[in-house]
């Protein structure tokens, strides 16, 4: 078998990532050797593979759904926004430079089509099936000429296309019809049908509309997935996180001890790898909030300054908002603060940056005995170590090189009193270390909080991925989906006018 499928969407956030992961997990449970693929990803939420390549975290999550190790071929192009109009371009896991949106879409993107098709061909030669994820909408007619992630990759590799629509937003029938009607005839010929996502209510009430949609387009609907809480794992864009929302919507278990532990995460600009705090939110009795005002730190037992693609910009933002002064007061009062990656860097004494912000010498908050110099070469590693008597695994993604001149060793960073700093993303997913760290935080905060003795973040992640697989298995026409993956788009699909403009 050498099957494939492109999961496209009527809009951004239609559910492409979770549907792709669900299909991957369903296939893996059937014994199919399957891999995920996204030609081009725009995200500040990234991951480091075993070979030291940087890819989108969504594709790493999808690889886990497939029960395989992620590789650079699964996300050959990653764009990491550094401002309103420019992004760092990461090609096959390595940064190759900064580029404006105009420069990228003006020619560079089209030249990458051969690279992404080669990566896809490599995966298809290795796996029985490759489930590809699109980006945004395939009907973005202003970008079709240079598209390498939606119909460009589908046409180049002859992939059938399944279009996902979020019915919870409303207008899903118009979105399905309009998406197809704005595609060129050769593109339309690959769009096999639709998948309704996030449906609430009685499916029988939806069926007449699905039949009419079939009559209008000649394309069937492959399933209606019900709305489920808590499935938004490893989202692509941390900038969309509600500042005062919780990390996930699932039911929070009661605390094991007498108290809860409150965690405030500073929602810094260009926040990266916000999923670092997911492991905290998974702990019964730990309440995680994203905050942007100094008064929101007052009742927090732990303040987290997360990673960011703009360390100097984040430092300025903290000062402008009064959050920097609030953090300094916390440290003076011996109240816990954790800085991760960029958040660790700005807690130091000073930053020398001629690479990311080109701001030169910038004074940090002076809370840790650390000096940071930004190097052009990006550090991409998967370190393993020990802290608080427990084994810790993590991954590093940063240009800043830290020179630690004091304090107590803590992973690759340091600790002074109750102020902690490290470059390691993902360290809190190590269960024993997370529990030991939370015990330290609770003691410093005077909380009678007790970490649950049996919380396994890896097991919780597996449960979430199985829930995604269950959605596909129970609510999609898996026989028809299998035929689509194995045999491609049906022949003779109707053309829906007007098609793409000339």
Would you please indicate which residues are annotated as catalytic (active-site) residues? 341, 425
Q: What is the DSSP letter of 136?
A: S
β-pairing, 86-91 vs 34-37, is: unpaired
Return all residues near 44 (Cβ < 8 A) that are at least 6 apart: 80, 81, 237, 238, 239, 270, 271, 272, 273, 309
Helix or strand holding residue 287 (H, E):
strand 286-291
**Can you tell me the distance from the alpha carbon of 13 to that of 137, in angstroms, rounded to the nearest whole number?**
10
Return all residues near 485 (Cβ < 8 A) that are at least 6 apart: 3, 4, 5, 27, 129, 131, 160
Strand partners, 37: 132
Helix or strand holding residue 339 (H, E):
strand 337-340
**Can you tell me the distance from the alpha carbon of 4 to that of 393, in angstroms, rounded to the nearest whole number?**
33
Sheet holding 94-100, edge to edge: 40-42, 77-81, 86-91, 94-100
**Can you tell me the distance from the alpha carbon of 213 to that of 220, in angstroms, rounded to the nearest whole number?**
8
Return all residues near 477 (Cβ < 8 A) that are at least 6 apart: 222, 223
**DSSP string over 205-264:** HHHHHHHHHHHHHS-EEEEEEEP-TT--TT-S-GGGS-TTS-S--SPPPPPSSSS-EEEE
The sign of the dihedral angle between the CA atoms of 494, 500, 501, 502 is negative
CA neighbours closer than 13 Å in the CB half-sphere of residue 254: 3
10 Å Cβ neighbour count for 165? 25
Q: Is 479 exposed, middle or buried (0-12, 13-18, 19+ CB in 10 A)?
A: exposed
Question: Cα separations (Å) of 482 from 1, 4, 139, 426, 476?
Answer: 11, 10, 25, 35, 11
The sign of the dihedral angle between the CA atoms of 232, 234, 237, 241 is positive
Residues across the chain: 502
Contact 338, 456 (CB under 8 A): no
Residue 50, preceding peptide bond in cis (omega within 30° of 0): no
């Amino acid at each position: 078998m050498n099957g494939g499928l492109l999961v496209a969407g009527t809009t951004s956030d239609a559910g492409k990532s979770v549907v792709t992961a669900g299909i991957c997990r369903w296939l893996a449970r059937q014994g199919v050797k399957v891999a995920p693929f996204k030609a081009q990803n725009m995200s500040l939420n990234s991951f480091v593979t075993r070979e030291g390549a940087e890819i989108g975290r969504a594709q790493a999550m999808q690889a886990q759904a497939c029960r395989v190790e992620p590789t650079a071929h699964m996300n050959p192009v990653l764009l990491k926004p550094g401002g309103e109009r420019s992004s760092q371009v990461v090609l096959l896991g390595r940064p190759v430079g900064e580029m404006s949106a105009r420069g990228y879409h003006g020619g560079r993107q089209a030249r990458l089509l051969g690279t992404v098709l080669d990566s896809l061909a490599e995966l298809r030669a290795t796996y029985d099936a490759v489930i590809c994820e699109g980006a945004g909408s395939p009907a973005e007619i202003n970008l079709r000429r240079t598209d390498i992630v939606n119909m460009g990759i589908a046409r180049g590799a002859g992939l059938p296309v399944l279009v996902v629509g979020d019915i919870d937003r409303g207008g899903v029938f118009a979105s399905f019809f309009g998406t197809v009607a704005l595609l060129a005839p050769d593109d339309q010929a690959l769009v096999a049908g639709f998948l309704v996502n996030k449906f609430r209510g009685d499916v029988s009430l939806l069926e007449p509309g699905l039949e009419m949609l079939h009559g209008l387009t000649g394309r069937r609907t492959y399933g209606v997935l019900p709305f489920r809480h808590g499935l938004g794992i490893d989202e692509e864009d941390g900038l969309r996180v509600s500042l005062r929302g919780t990390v996930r919507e699932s039911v929070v278990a009661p605390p094991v001890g007498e108290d809860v532990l409150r965690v405030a995460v500073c929602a810094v600009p260009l926040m990266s790898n916000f999923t670092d705090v997911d492991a905290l939110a998974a702990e019964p009795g730990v309440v995680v909030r994203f905050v942007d005002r100094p008064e929101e730190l007052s009742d927090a037992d732990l303040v987290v300054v997360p990673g960011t693609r703009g360390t100097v910009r984040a430092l300025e933002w903290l000062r402008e908002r009064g959050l920097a002064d609030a953090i300094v007061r916390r440290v003076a009062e011996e109240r816990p603060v954790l800085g991760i990656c960029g958040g660790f860097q700005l807690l130091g004494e000073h930053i020398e940056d001629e690479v990311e912000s080109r701001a030169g010498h910038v004074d940090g908050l002076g809370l840790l005995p650390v000096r940071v110099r930004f190097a052009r070469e990006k550090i991409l590693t998967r370190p393993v170590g020990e802290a608080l008597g427990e084994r810790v695994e993590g991954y590093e993604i940063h240009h800043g090189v830290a020179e630690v001149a004091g304090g107590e060793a803590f992973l690759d960073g340091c600790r002074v009193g109750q102020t902690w700093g490290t470059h390691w993303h993902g360290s809190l997913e190590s269960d024993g270390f997370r529990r030991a760290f939370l015990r330290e935080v609770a003691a410093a905060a005077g909380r009678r909080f007790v970490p649950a003795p049996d919380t396994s973040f890896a097991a919780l992640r597996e449960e979430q991925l199985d829930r995604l697989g269950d959605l596909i298995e129970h609510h999609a026409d898996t026989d028809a989906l299998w035929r689509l993956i194995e045999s491609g788009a049906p022949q003779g699909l109707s053309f829906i006018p007007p098609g793409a403009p000339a």
